[in-house]
Each structure stands twice: as C-alpha cells, then as structure tokens.
Chain A
Amino acid sequence: NAGVTQTPKFQVLKTGQSMTLQCAQDMNHEYMSWYRQDPGMGLRLIHYSVGAGITDQGEVPNGYNVSRSTTEDFPLRLLSAAPSQTSVYFCASSYSAQANTGELFFGEGSRLTVL
C-alpha cells in the first residue's frame, strides 16, 4: 500500500497564481484533511472531509478550496496565491469519519513557496 500520497513535493508560485495540491489515499479512509505547518506554529487545520461529497472548514480556510468527489482523492486548491501561503502542506487521512477515534496517517508533505 502507498498510504497517503501528495504531489507535488515542491512548488514555487508567483503571487496571484493558482494551483492544486493533490492528495490520494489507498486505504479506503473516510476522513481526510489538509494541514499547513509553519515554524513555531505547529499544524493548523485548513479543511477536512468526512466522506465523499462532504467537506468542512478548519481553523484557517481562507484562500483555499477543497472538494471530495471520490473516497480516494482530496485536492487542495489555492485560488490566488499570496506570500502568506508559503508553508509546508500535509494531507492526512483516518479510517473513521470521526478523527478522534483513530490515528491520522500523514503524507510526506508539499513544500510551497509563493514569491
């Protein structure tokens, strides 16, 4: 099993550009989420999904969109990139629709720089 796969691993954008970070899991997990990690601030939840067709906002959703058309995929879209979105982005999944009932499985991260 590949687990949680994120692409791309590295990306440089110019301010105002848009892009999509891809996340796929092959564990048939109901729950998927996106976090961003910034130095000294830990991980902050951007958006999450408890199943196909269902998404919800986390702590820092502004500037990001998500969709969940299949169980496997949970892409994160940056609509108009800003330097404040320079960060490392992590996708995570869990077998349960309730994240607290089980462990989160994380991808290896996508490092985004916005110039």
Chain B
Amino acid sequence: SQQGEEDPQALSIQEGENATMNCSYKTSINNLQWYRQNSGRGLVHLILIRSNEREKHSGRLRVTLDTSKKSSSLLITASRAADTASYFCAIITDNNNDMRFGAGTRLTVKP
C-alpha cells in the first residue's frame, strides 16, 4: 500500500485542548495534504506541505513534515466543538496524478 496511515484512529478531547494527529507513509512524496470531512459531507482541503518544507501554519492549524521518518503531524490548537470531524492525510504516488488517502482520524471535541 502506498497510502498514508493516520494515527490514532479516533481521538476525543475537551474543547480548548490541542489535538494532534499523525500520518505515516512508505513511499517518496512530492507533497502531503491534509483534508477534513464533516459527517455526511465531502472532504475539504486544509493545508498542503511540500517535501522541502518542515512546518506550515494556517490559523489554528500547524502541520509538520519529517521526510526522513516519512511522517507528518497535524496539530489543531485551542480546539472547538466545530472541529469535530474526520481528518485525512493524502500523499502523491510516483506518477504525480494518483493521490492516496489514509483511513482517517475521527476527532471528537466535547463542549
């Protein structure tokens, strides 16, 4: 399998806490993307980090990439109940047109 694998599968936290999700992969990548999916909806792009980048921020989101360990993490700071969703990492395989998704991390933020 050349897809990313998220960890943990499920995460439950209190509002205001930080949430950290991890993604590991096995192949060389050009970039890695994180997506969010609310229940019953389509996926929404959150952030893209390129292989030559180590960290990227977008609002309350912080993404890191360690290509030597073939892993990435998504940190959501000061979480809100509205952050409750599934989060997926997506990697690009060698042919550059084949984006592979993991099974996702299901985040529950309790008010």
Contacts and interface: CB of A to CB of B under 8 A. Distances in A.
Interface of A: 4, 31, 33, 35, 40-45, 48, 50, 56, 58-59, 90, 92, 97-100, 102-109
Given A99-B97, A100-B97, A103-B33, 15 more contacts: A4-B42, A42-B3, A43-B88, A44-B101, A45-B100, A48-B98, A92-B43, A99-B92, A100-B30, A100-B31, A100-B96, A104-B43, A104-B45, A104-B99, A108-B42
A90 B43 contact: yes
Contacts of A104: 33, 35, 43, 45, 90, 99
Given A98-B96, A100-B30, A42 B101 contact: yes
A31 B48 contact: no
Interface of B: 3, 30-31, 33, 35, 40-45, 48, 88, 90, 92, 96-104
Contacts of A56: 97
Chain B facing A: main interface SS: strand
30 contacts: A31-B97, A33-B99, A40-B103, A42-B88, A42-B104, A43-B88, A44-B101, A45-B99, A45-B100, A48-B97, A56-B97, A58-B98, A59-B98, A59-B100, A90-B43, A97-B97, A98-B96, A98-B97, A99-B92, A99-B99, A100-B92, A100-B99, A103-B33, A104-B35, A104-B45, A104-B99, A106-B43, A107-B42, A108-B42, A109-B42
A102 B33 CA distance: 9
Name the residue in A31, A50, A99, A109 with the highest tally of chain B Cβ atoms < 10 Å from its Cβ: A99
Contacts of B48: 102-103
Most buried by B among A97, A103, A107: A103
A100 B90 CA distance: 9
Contact of A108 (B35, B41, B99): B41
A33 B45 CA distance: 15
B100 A105 contact: no
B10 to A, nearest CB: 11
A100 B30 CA distance: 7
B106 to A, nearest CB: 11
